[in-house]
């Protein structure tokens, strides 16, 4: 192996993380939509003039619309939010239950602004929220303890963004919240209402069912890393990352039970989804649609039932925008306008992509060590030295990575990952044969990149190559291949091998993966799919 190449590529500390689906859904470029820009103009007039909760929601809508820090309106919102922190403690402006909403959106805004720089403030707001969780796992108004579906939704959202920003959230928070949401689900229909203990007063709605499903998806995602055993193979789960082992914690709630609650909620939404003003959507259609966008991203669903939820919601939002750029319904113009913009910009999908980018650690040189000679190609982000992504065709990036004499391998690797982030599997699929050849390269770093890339094509025909890579002599290549197989198979635990592993363990794991592959893609002696067999659908894990 070329020591020069290891100098160029091996020190990039590329974190090969697993997501549990073939690729996150592409984030549509909606920030420049005329309705969004017109809505932003309305919100700029509200910046800093509202109470903290509304101000944080305005800031979040701006950030999801790609308004950059330094914008006077955004800075006015952030300055007002930061005024609620004193000596490392978050002091809400409101009380009685409204403070939970407030702290939740404050977490969301700060985590989407700059998670590294605002870590202390995010931690303080998250600690406030965790301290308000009831014994039954819910959050509610101070005069109640039974649980409020809407308040609990924002109390889950805040710590979720906080934990993704590096804040420690005890797993008990997620499990207790999940248990409460399951207990408050309608046992017959699978839907949720505002207060389960007041079912006669509050009907089942799209807004509250979206809150229930979305919150369970978040809890399920955050608990996944603590699970041990073989019952966590749901397609709704995201698999473990390679960032290290989670602290020991035994999740008592069966994964199958969580999965079933989520599926029942999605089924109800599929049968009842509408954007009309009928009571089923809830007091505000924009609040409901923001919840639908969240579960659509978390569950990786483009439809509810047979309805394209995004296109239906988009048409409704665009058609109901007022002349001044706002949207109005229950709770007023400011929050409804923010919710409408958060839907149009696919705000949760953006959060998920940010999480993926963080786990990929694309192109980072930690601590500034092993810098390439050409320092003009480097920048600093979040305290890390980062190579600027190479532009141009993917073929050019691969040529650089394959050339042991090239000095700009870090830029090529950053460019490859950046292209995947923007285009998804389509950027990698045309180069599958080349990645297969790279798996035989003498350089283990190049083999690791090849395994990572093959898995993210989302195609099952790359499985044999990844299985062969399980017996690689380099542990990091084995790990990348195993995680790639977990990604494609949606097996959160997988079939091994463990890390680190012995050659015997790697051989045994490869045999198990081949047995699995034979069950989903039987081949004849010519290597073709057997006639009459249905091709597995990678998007669902089912045959079609």
Full-model pTM: 0.64
Of 310, 345, 380, which residue sits at a domain end? Answer: 345
- Do 55 and 117 reside in the same domain of the chain? yes
On the question of pLDDT at 136 being above 60, the answer is: yes
Task: Render pLDDT for 49-105 as a digit per residue (tens, 0 to 9).
Answer: 999 999 999 999 999 999 988 999 999 999 999 999 999 999 999 999 999 999 999
**What mean pLDDT comes out for the span 394-413?**
82
Residue 20 domain-assigned (yes or no): no
Residue 91 domain-assigned (yes or no): yes
pLDDT at 356 (0 to 100)? 66
- Do 379 and 249 reside in the same domain of the chain? no
**What mean pLDDT comes out for the span 386-397?**
80
On the question of pLDDT at 21 being above 90, the answer is: no
Q: Is residue 30 very low, low, confident or very high in pLDDT (cuts 50, 70, 90)? A: low
CB 153 within 8 A of CB 214: yes
Task: Return phi, psi of residue 25, to 5°.
Answer: -65, 140
On the question of pLDDT at 383 being above 60, the answer is: no
The CATH number of the domain holding residue 378 is 1.25.10
Of 298, 324, 345, which residue sits at a domain end? Answer: 345
Any residues with CB less than 8 A from the CB of 335 and at least 6 apart, and which?
Answer: 54, 57, 287
- Do 260 and 371 reside in the same domain of the chain? no
On the question of pLDDT at 12 being above 80, the answer is: no
Residue 424 domain-assigned (yes or no): yes
Task: Render pLDDT for 417-434 as a digit per residue (tens, 0 to 9).
Answer: 888 888 888 999 999 999
- Do 381 and 461 reside in the same domain of the chain? yes
pLDDT at 491 (0 to 100)? 72
What residue numbers bound the domain in which 43 lies?
34-345
On the question of pLDDT at 529 being above 60, the answer is: no
- Do 172 and 295 reside in the same domain of the chain? yes
- Do 423 and 475 reside in the same domain of the chain? yes
pLDDT at 246 (0 to 100)? 56
Task: Render pLDDT for 360-373 as a digit per residue (tens, 0 to 9).
Answer: 443 333 333 233 44
How far from 110 is each of 40, 64, 314, 414, CA to CA, in Å?
A: 19, 12, 27, 26
**What mean pLDDT comes out for the span 323-344?**
96
Distance CA 75, CA 81 (A): 10
Buried/exposed code over 182-220 (b: 16+ C-beta within 10 A; e: otherwise): bebbbeeebbbbbbbeeeeebebbbbbbbbbbbbbbbbb
Q: Is residue 374 very low, low, confident or very high in pLDDT (cuts 50, 70, 90)? A: very low
The CATH number of the domain holding residue 201 is 1.50.10.20
Of 345, 377, 402, which residue sits at a domain end? Answer: 345
How far from 72 is each of 26, 65, 77, 95, 479, CA to CA, in Å?
A: 30, 15, 9, 29, 46
Residue 25 domain-assigned (yes or no): no
pLDDT at 41 (0 to 100)? 96
Q: What is the DSSP letter of 33?
A: -
pLDDT at 389 (0 to 100)? 78
CB 353 within 8 A of CB 25: no
How far from 303 is each of 300, 347, 405, CA to CA, in Å?
A: 9, 17, 49
């Amino acid at each position: 192996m070329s020591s020069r190449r290891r100098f160029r590529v091996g020190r990039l500390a590329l974190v090969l993380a697993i997501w549990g689906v073939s690729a996150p859904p592409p984030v549509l470029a909606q920030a420049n939509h005329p309705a969004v820009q017109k809505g932003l103009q309305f919100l700029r007039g509200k910046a800093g003039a509202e109470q903290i909760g509304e101000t944080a929601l305005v800031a979040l809508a701006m950030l999801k619309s790609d308004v950059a820090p330094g914008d006077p309106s955004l800075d006015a919102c952030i300055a007002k939010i930061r005024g609620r922190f004193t000596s490392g403690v978050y002091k809400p402006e409101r009380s009685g239950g409204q403070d939970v909403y407030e702290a939740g959106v404050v977490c969301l805004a700060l985590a989407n602004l700059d998670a590294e720089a605002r870590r202390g403030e995010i931690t303080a707001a998250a600690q406030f929220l965790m301290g308000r969780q009831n014994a039954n796992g819910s959050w509610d108004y101070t005069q109640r303890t039974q649980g409020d579906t809407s308040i609990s939704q924002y109390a889950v959202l805040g710590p979720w963004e906080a934990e993704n920003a590096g804040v420690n959230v005890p797993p008990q928070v997620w499990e207790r919240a999940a248990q409460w949401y399951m207990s408050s689900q309608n046992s017959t229909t699978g839907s949720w209402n505002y207060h389960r203990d007041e079912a006669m007063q509050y009907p089942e709605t799209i807004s509250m069912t979206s809150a229930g499903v979305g919150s369970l998806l978040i809890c399920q995602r955050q608990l996944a890393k603590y699970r041990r055993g073989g019952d966590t193979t749901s397609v709704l789960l995201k698999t473990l990352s390679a960032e290290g082992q989670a602290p020991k914690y035994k999740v008592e709630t069966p994964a199958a039970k969580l999965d079933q609650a989520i599926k029942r909620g999605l089924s109800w939404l599929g049968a009842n989804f509408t954007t009309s003003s009928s009571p089923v959507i809830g007091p505000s259609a924009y609040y409901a649609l923001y919840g639908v966008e969240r579960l659509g991203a978390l569950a990786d669903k483009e439809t509810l039932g047979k309805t394209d939820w995004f296109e239906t919601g988009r048409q409704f939002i665009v058609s109901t925008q007022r002349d001044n750029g706002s949207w109005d319904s229950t709770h007023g113009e400011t929050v409804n306008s923010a919710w409408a913009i958060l839907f149009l910009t696919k705000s949760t999908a953006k959060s998920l992509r940010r999480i993926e980018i963080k786990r990929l650690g694309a192109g980072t040189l930690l601590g500034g060590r092993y810098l390439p000679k050409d320092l003009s190609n480097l920048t600093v982000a979040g305290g890390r030295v980062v190579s600027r992504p190479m532009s141009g065709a993917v073929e050019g990036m691969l040529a650089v990575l394959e050339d042991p004499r090239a000095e700009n391998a870090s830029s090529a690797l950053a460019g490859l990952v950046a292209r995947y982030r923007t285009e998804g599997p389509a950027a990698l699929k045309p180069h599958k044969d080349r990645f297969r050849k790279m798996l035989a390269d003498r350089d283990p770093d190049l083999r690791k990149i090849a395994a990572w890339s093959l898995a993210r094509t989302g195609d099952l025909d790359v499985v044999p190559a990844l299985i062969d890579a399980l017996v690689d002599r380099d542990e990091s290549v084995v790990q990348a291949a195993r995680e790639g197989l977990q990604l494609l198979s949606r097996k959160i635990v997988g079939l091994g091998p463990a890390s680190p592993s012995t050659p015997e363990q790697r051989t045994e794991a490869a045999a198990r993966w081949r047995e699995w592959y034979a069950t989903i893609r039987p081949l004849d002696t010519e290597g073709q799919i057997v006639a009459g067999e249905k091709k597995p659908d990678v998007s669902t894990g089912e045959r079609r």
